[in-house]
Chains A and B, each alone.
Chain A
Amino acid sequence: MITARSLTKRYGEHVVLDSLDMDVPRGQRVALLGLNGAGKTTLLRCLLGLSRFDGSLTLDGLAAGSGSEGRSVRAQVGYVPQQPPRYDFRLSEFVEFFCRIRGCPAAGAERILEDLGLSLATDGGKKLRELSGGMLQKALLAVAMGSGAPVLLLDEPTASLDPSARRDFLNAVRTAPSDLTLLFASHRLDDVEALADRAIILEAGKFAFDGSLEELWRRTGVERLARSDGSDAPPVLEDILARIIRDAEPGRDTEPPAEIENFDPGPRLYVENDK
C-alpha cells in the first residue's frame, strides 16, 4: 500500500532520510521511533507532500507530492500533527470546514468526537484557542478518522495529553477498523505497545530496526511486564533506542547520547530478560 524506494530527504548538506526502502501493507500499524531529529516527522511530511524528496514514495501507486496526484494521496490519509493548528475557528466550524475540504459529511467526525467525550452540541461553540491540547487532539483525530480515510498518520499525537485524554485517544485509534493502515511517530513505548504491530527505528536517516514488536523486545532484551495503555507511566523508549542504535552501528561510541544517559525513566514497565 505505502511504498518507498530510495527515499531521500536532504536539508542542504544534512541527510535526514537516506535512501530508504519501505513497504507498508494495508491494515498494518507501524510505529516510527527514533531520537529527536531522526527523521520520523520528515517521513510523514513526505507522504503528505509537505516536504520534497528524492526517490519515490507512493500510496496505492499514487505518487506523494504537492500536486494533483499528491492530493489524491492526501484524500486517503487522515493526519494528526504533533502541534494542533491554532485556527481562529469555533470547534463546530473547524469540524465542518475540514470535513468539507475532505469531501465527507461531518457526521462521522461528530460520532468519533462523541466517542472521545466531546459533543458539538455542547462544545461546538467554543473557540479552538479555548480548548485544551487534549480536546484539540481529539478534534483533529475526529476529522482525520471521520472521513473514513484508509490511512492514518499520527505525529506524536499523545505527547501533550493527560492520562485520561491519552486513554481516550488510544482507544479511538485502537478500535478503528482493522483495515486501517496506521503510521505514527512516537516517543512513548506504551503508545507503541498499544497501537503498533510493527516498529521502525530511524537513526541518522536509515532504518536501524524494522520488524515486529516481539522482535524488538527480543533484540533489545526486554520483555513486557504489564500492559501499559491507560497509565501515565514515563517512557523507557530511549533505552531501547540506544541498544538498537549501538547494535546497528557497532563502530559507534557505545556510550548512549547524553540525552539518553541522563534520562530518568522513572518506574519501569519493562525489565531485562534473564537470558
Chain B
Amino acid sequence: MSAVRLLARRELQDSVRTYWFLVYSGVFVVGGLLLMVLGGAQSTVLGYRGFARAIAGLMHLALFVVPLMALFPAASALAGEREVGTLDYLMAQPVTRRQIFAGKWLGVWGAVVLALAVGFGSTGFVATLRGVSPALVLGLFVFTVLLATAFASLGLLLSAASPSARRANSIGITVWLVFLTLGSLGVMSAFIRWGLPEWVLTGWALLNPIEACRLAVLPLLDSDANLLGPVGAALFASLGRGGLIAAATASLLGWTALGLLAGSRLFQNEER
C-alpha cells in the first residue's frame, strides 16, 4: 500500500473515531428526516413542490453545517500533529511532505464524504420513496460534496500555515463566518449602502463558495429561479441555468485548487 493511502486510511480512521463524525452525521439524518416530514405535510397542499422545498431546506442546512464539518478536521490535521510533536516523527520517516499533505487531505475528505453519505443517504432514500427524483438527490449530494471539498482544502491550507490546531480552527471559524454572513444579502446591503457596481455583487456571489454552492443547487430544484434571490436571479438571467451551474462549480473547484496548491506549497517550504 502506498504511503499516501496508508496516511489517508489512518486519517480517515482517526476522523471516524471522533465525536464530530457522529454529530454531523446525526445532524444530517435527523435534520433531513425532519424536513422530509414537514415537506410531506406541505405536499398534501403543494404536491411534489412540498418535497422540493424540504430538499431545499436540507440544502440550506448543508450550506450552514458542511463548511464547518470539513474545516475543523482539516484545520486540525497538520497543525494538531505539529502541536503535539507527532508531525516531526512522521516527517522523519521515508515519506515526502507532499505525500503527507495528500494523505491528510484524502483522509479528511473521505471522512466528510462518508458522513455526508450517511446523512444524505437516509434522507435521500426517504425523499425518493416519496417521489423526488433520484437525480435531484444525487445532484444535491454532488454539490454538497464539492462544497465540503473546497472547505477541506481551505482547512488544510490553514493547517499548513498555523502552529496549532486552535489557531487554525479560530481562523477557520472566521473564514466561515465571513463567507456565511457576507452572502448575497450582506453584500446587497453594502451594494445599497455604498452604491457598489453590480459586478461586485454578482462576482462576490460566485466567488463565495457557500453562495456558489447555493447558486448551483437551487436551479436544480426550481427551474423558475424563484428560490435564488435577487442576485441569483440576475445571474440566472445573464448566464442561464447551465452557465450559472457551471460558473458556480468552477468557483468551488477553484477554491479547492487554491487550498490544495497553496497549502501544499506552504507545507513543503515550511522552515523548521
Q: Do A and B bind each other?
A: yes
Interface residues of A (CB under 8 A from B): 45, 48-52, 66-68, 70-72, 74-75, 77, 79, 81, 83, 85-88, 97-98, 100-103
Residue B194 at the A interface, CB < 8 A? no
Residue in contact with A52 in the complex, picked from B90, B94, B272, CB distance below 8 Å: B272
In the complex, chain B residues whose CB is within 8 Å of the CB of A101: 3, 6-7, 90, 93-95
CB-nearest residue of chain A relative to B91?
A50
Report Cα–Cα, A85/B10, bound state, in Å: 16
CB-nearest residue of chain A relative to B99?
A71
Report Cα–Cα, A216/B116, bound state, in Å: 65
In the complex, chain A residues whose CB is within 8 Å of the CB of B93: 74, 79, 98, 101-102
Report whether B94 and A72 are in contact in the complex, using a CB–CB cutoff of 8 Å: yes
Query: C-beta contact mask, B238-260 vs A, less than 8 Å → 1, else 0?
Result: 00000000000000000000000
Residue B268 at the A interface, CB < 8 A? yes
In the complex, chain A residues whose CB is within 8 Å of the CB of B92: 48-50, 74, 77, 79, 81
In the complex, chain A residues whose CB is within 8 Å of the CB of B3: 101
Q: How many A-B residue pairs have CB under 8 A?
A: 62
Report Cα–Cα, A71/B97, bound state, in Å: 9
> Most B CB atoms within 10 A — which of A68, A79, A83, A85?
A85
Report whether B96 and A68 are in contact in the complex, using a CB–CB cutoff of 8 Å: yes
In the complex, chain A residues whose CB is within 8 Å of the CB of B89: 79, 81, 85
In the complex, chain B residues whose CB is within 8 Å of the CB of A74: 92-95
Report Cα–Cα, A49/B268, bound state, in Å: 11
In the complex, chain B residues whose CB is within 8 Å of the CB of A98: 93
In the complex, chain A residues whose CB is within 8 Å of the CB of B272: 45, 50-52
- Residues 63-100 (chain B) with a chain A CB within 8 angstroms: 84-86, 88-97
Report Cα–Cα, A13/B36, bound state, in Å: 64
Interface residues of B (CB under 8 A from A): 1, 3, 6-7, 10, 14, 84-86, 88-97, 268, 271-272
In the complex, chain A residues whose CB is within 8 Å of the CB of B6: 97, 100-101
Report whether A86 and B10 are in contact in the complex, using a CB–CB cutoff of 8 Å: no
Report whether B10 and A66 are in contact in the complex, using a CB–CB cutoff of 8 Å: no
CB distance from B7 to the nearest CB of A (A): 8
Report Cα–Cα, A56/B198, bound state, in Å: 57
Report whether A81 and B88 are in contact in the complex, using a CB–CB cutoff of 8 Å: yes
In the complex, chain B residues whose CB is within 8 Å of the CB of A87: 86
Report Cα–Cα, A45/B271, bound state, in Å: 12
In the complex, chain B residues whose CB is within 8 Å of the CB of A66: 91, 96-97, 268
Q: Can you name 16 extra interface pairs (CB under 8 A) apart from A50-B88, A101-B3?
A: A49-B92, A50-B92, A52-B271, A52-B272, A67-B96, A70-B96, A74-B92, A79-B92, A85-B84, A85-B85, A85-B90, A86-B85, A86-B86, A97-B10, A101-B7, A101-B90
Report Cα–Cα, A88/B80, bound state, in Å: 12
Residue in contact with B86 in the complex, picked from A50, A75, A85, CB distance below 8 Å: A85
